[in-house]
Every structure is written in C-alpha cells, then in structure tokens.
Structure 1
Amino acid sequence: MRLIMLGPPGAGKGTQAALVSAAHGVPAISTGDIFRANIKGETPLGLQVKEITASGGYVPDEITNAIVRDRLAEPDASSGFLLDGYPRTTGQVEALDQMLAESGHALDAVVELTVDTDEVVQRLLARAADQGRADDTEHVVRERMRIYAEETAPLAAVYRQRGLLHEVDGMGTVEDVTARIEAALSDRAGA
C-alpha cells in the first residue's frame, strides 16, 4: 500500500500514521521526524531547518523532495509506505508523481484528517507543554495553520480529482479515528 496522510499540524497524522502503517506492514515516513532528528543532531540541514521552522515556515520543496526521494529508495519502502507531512505543495505532488512513475508505482489512497482549528491549536499547545517543544507557540501554530490552508489544503482537490481522496473526521478518540481511516481504506479496496 502506498498512502498519503494529509491534515493540518496537530490533526493526529503522526499518531494515525504509526497505527495504520503497523496494521498494513509499511513504514510511516514523516518528514517532520526526519527534520527533527537533523535538528537534534545539529547537522547542517538541521540548523537550516531549525531557523525556518522557528519562524513557522515550511522547509523549501527542493530540500524536502530530496529527503523523501532518498527515503523512498530505502529497502523497507519498496513494497509500500505511508507518507506523513508530504507532499505539502503542488510542486511536491509533482515531484512525488515523478518518483512513483520512475519506480513503476502509483498511490493507492490519500487520507485527509479534518479537524477544528481551535481544537488543533489547543492540542499543539498541550503537546508543546508536555514535550518541551519550543516551536509550538500559539503564534507559530496559527501561522502553520494559515500556511497549511493556503498551500497544502489545495492538494486535497488534486487528489479528489484523481479519485484517491478520503476525508476522515480527525476528532474523537485515537481508536475512533483509526477505525474511520480503516473503513475508508476498506471502501477503497472494495471499489
């Protein structure tokens, strides 16, 4: 299975990606996790990404596309993957299309978690307090939400037009959201 999970920051993509990838035996690939590991390791990429994310911005497409291309070339992703946090722009959609075409594969589905903005802000502020994440201030969270709506939300239209998009209510318990995702994926398999 080759799957993308879309949704604004704090929608629960990481939690759901881990559960869905485990259920389907494919790696969950999070660009955010890759970036945070580089920041923690103080790599040149990490220092560059830290400066960008501290102001609420997104990492440029060329950097993100290269990281994803390298990750999808790893052996554990050869039979499938779940992408969390990628693609975020139409340029990244085009890059992913090219990567998949080069490998002779196609996406199976795109799941978009839909959530209430104010709920997401509260989730992220709670996470910041629990995990000591300095990048999750209310100003930065709201800026990420604005950027998401402006740049990333239009991707849903692209995938809807291709017949791949499944909108899933991301509100409620982790278990309820997981059940909704699995139901959407089962509907796709039966289609």
Structure 2
Amino acid sequence: MLSNLASFFSSGANLVFFVFALLTIGGAVFMLSFTKVVHMVLSLAFTFISLAGLYVLLEAEFVAFVQILIYAGAVTILMIFGIMMTKHRDGQGEEAPKKPVHNLLLGIGVLCLFGILFYGIQTSTFPGTTEPLAEDNSLEIGKLLFNRYVIPFELMSVLLTVAFIGAIVVAKREED
C-alpha cells in the first residue's frame, strides 16, 4: 500500500493534484469554521480558485475558466454586495460554548473517514481512458453550446436574470 503512495507522489502532476486538493478542502473547512461573513466569502473564493486548478489538471480548461469567472468572481462579488446591503449585528458578545469531548469525537471521526477513504482509493484499480480527448475542448464545447443546446442556454440566461432581479427586489423590500 505504501509503494502505491510512493509511486503516486513520484509524478509531478499527482503532487500538484494533491496540493490543489488540500487547498480546496482547506478552504472549504475554513469557510465552515469562520464566524465573520467576509472571511467566509474569501475562503469560499479560495476554494473556487483551487477547484479551477484541479480542472486545469484534468485538461478541462473551459470549465476552469468558467469556474474562476463565474464562481470565484461573480458569485463572490455578489455575496460581498449582499453582505454590504443587508443589516447584520456584530456577534462580538456571543461566545460559543466549549465542547472538548465533541471536538475529540469529531477529530476521531474525521481521521477514521480519512483512513477508510485512503484505504479504498489505494486498493482500487481504476480503468484507463479508452477514448481520446478532443483536440480543442473549448471549441467543441462552444459548438455544442451554440448548436445543440442553444435553447437551454438561453433559458438559463433568462432564469439567472429573473433571479438577479428578484434578489434586488427582496433587498429593496428589506430596506423599506
């Protein structure tokens, strides 16, 4: 089992994958553990950017670009505007109760889950790719998006526009 681990880290791409995976998981854990909303948004943006790095490693450049453009950019900025537009109280006076037994059990559970996943991945055999990848992924996605899936694409743009207008209306009602 450890020989598989040594052969896994002998490749540079696998090492970069491991680093991006750790950054993605770390950003997600920090997003859940932070108490200030701005810190949560920044760690969520960090998670999105790390996911884009994983997509680049998977040779899905278009998906990585969309991940950065839509999620790390637009959604994060939209969340920050939402924070600025809404009223929220400062939670300085509230302190969470300490639960050492709960934290210990949580740590043991996380380590057990990591061990089970690690063992399952190390003992599994994954089939290789059977079909070649497209020469230009973005061109093929563009052809499919604007030929075969043009109606769902346009419906999604209308749906997102309606959701954005609805969010503005809800924010204005809270202000009044």
- TM-score category by the smaller chain? under 0.3
Q: Looking at CA atoms only, which structure, 1 or 2, has the larger radius of gyration?
A: 2
TM-score by length of 1: 0.24
Q: Which has the higher helix share?
A: 2
Higher relative contact order (CA 8 A, sep 6+): 1
TM-score by length of 2: 0.25
